[in-house]
Amino acid sequence: MEKMKSLFGDTISAVPAVRRTDKAHAAKPGTGPEGERCGTCRHAVVSGYHSKNYWKCGLMRTCWTGGGATDIRLKDAACKLWEEKNADR
């Protein structure tokens, strides 16, 4: 790993910190049950704006924005937080 100096003379790593870039899914897609999709999850909710509908993950409600960065696709592979739509609680 390469070391660099900051403007203040401190030694810093040249490797940037890992940032979460996916603001749409509650966990990494594909980590859920085999064969399941976001569209079959109870957390998939529709958010309407004017005459259009946008699918979002209900577990990520606090992160929702007006842009596409928080939209999910119903065909995305399920994440590890997937729950059956009609599961009795």
CB hemisphere CA count around 1 (13 angstroms): 7
9-66 residue pLDDT tens: 888 776 666 666 788 999 999 999 999 999 999 999 998 878 888 999 999 999 898 8
Residues 6+ apart with CB under 8 A from 45: 55, 56, 57, 58
Q: What is the pTM of this model?
A: 0.71
Q: What is the dihedral of CA 14, 17, 23, 27, to 10 degrees?
A: 120
Could you say which DSSP state residue 50 is in? Answer: T
